[in-house]
Amino acid sequence: MQGRMLQRPAESDPTADVPCESVDVAIADVRQFIDPLLEEAVNALDLAPQRLRESIRYALLAPGKRLRPALTLWASDACGGDRQAAAAGAMAVEMIHAYSLVHDDLPAMDDDDLRRGRPTCHRAFDEATAILCGDALQPLAFATLVRHLPPDTAGRACGILASAAGAEALVGGQAEDLAAEQATAETDAANTSPESQLARLEQIHRCKTGALFLACLRLGGLTAGASSEQLQALEIYGAAFGLAFQIADDLLDAEGTEETVGKRVGKDAARGKLTFPSLVGIDASRARAHALAAEAEHACQIFGTRGKPLAALASWIVHRNH
């Protein structure tokens, strides 16, 4: 099955430009493209125990924004790549993202009962099933890359994703975040300067959320055969986008409502968690997020009109209410 190309659903035109007038419409288009492919990947797990397979379906196909597939596909579009080749990367990043949410919501971590507007996986199923669901989504991501990409590209794609998901990135960032929360609770933070707290927070965000966003852009660039100049622009975009996203996420937790955000809000403050608003205030956080979004937009200039969806998303991410 190696190198098997993914088929775009018949009603979609693979050469069509992503509509830029409305990012909401463009994201809906990505969801329409990627969800049937994700569903197909779950359906193909026909030897998996039924309850486990249903938990994977529940977590993976929950109504999330599909930002990571959008970034992967639009990075590929920006570099003139083929949507079908980029699709495997787009599926794989969403699988890793879905696993991280399921595990993050567990009682041993954030202990949440609401995610993407519905009960969290361990609430809808049970804790052991949620752990196994996350465990199963990780190899599924790598198997998806191996299954659908030519061997050399698949190897490089697996390397990109493994670095983003591992102990020096996503998992490490989560560990650091939990440790920082503990330190804040023990008033350790009171003895640390605001500058070093901010530096620590940015490092946590770079690992916990930024690394996977960067992987999306790198995978889109890889499957599109991007030039080194294009890859460099994607790196700049990804670093700025990741931090802008996280600051906006902190602001939503501070100011958003449960109905629009689809998860519990106000949790960060209740836990005394280190966040941008708690360190520098709401206005300075918003200003920083907007400056980062502008930086990301600027990085898209070398792509011309092909880079418009990425540029529009950077602005959307700091203006959204969900």
11: tokens are: 């009603």
- Which residue's CB atom is positioned nearest to ligand GRG? 64
Please, which residue, 64 or 89, has the CB nearer to ligand GRG? 64
Query: What character string, x for contact with ligand GRG (CB under 6 A) and - otherwise, covers 56-85?
Result: --------xx-x------------------
320 binds ligand GRG (CB under 6 A): no
* Least distance from ligand GRG to the Cβ atom of residue 168, Å: 13
55 binds ligand GRG (CB under 6 A): no
Task: List Cβ<8 Å contacts ≥24 apart for 193-196.
Answer: 194/279, 194/280
Number of residues that bind ligand GRG (CB under 6 A): 16
* Least distance from ligand GRG to the Cβ atom of residue 112, Å: 8
What whole-number distance in Å separates Cα of residue 138 and Cα of residue 111?
21
Candidates 48-56, 103-111, 222-230, 291-299; binding stretch for ligand GRG (CB under 6 A) = 103-111
4: tokens are: 């098997």
Measured N-to-C along each axis, helices 151-165 and 127-148 cross at an angle, to the nearest 10 degrees, of 150
CA distances from 129 to 14, 142, 263, 282 (A): 37, 21, 21, 39
What whole-number distance in Å separates Cα of residue 55 and Cα of residue 128?
11
Query: What character string, x for contact with ligand GRG (CB under 6 A) and - otherwise, covers 128-167?
Result: ----------------------------------------
Please, which residue, 64 or 81, has the CB nearer to ligand GRG? 64
Q: Which of 69, 54, 62, 39 is nearest to 116 (CA)?
A: 62
206 binds ligand GRG (CB under 6 A): no
DSSP reduced 3-state for 114: strand
What whole-number distance in Å separates Cα of residue 61 and Cα of residue 38?
7
Candidates 74-82, 170-178, 293-301, 307-315; binding stretch for ligand GRG (CB under 6 A) = 170-178
User: Which residues make beta-bridge pairs with 114?
Assistant: 119
249 binds ligand GRG (CB under 6 A): yes
130: tokens are: 């949620």
Instruction: State the residues that interact with ligand GRG by CB under 6 A.
Output: 64-65, 67, 97, 100-101, 103-104, 109, 116, 170-171, 174, 208-209, 249
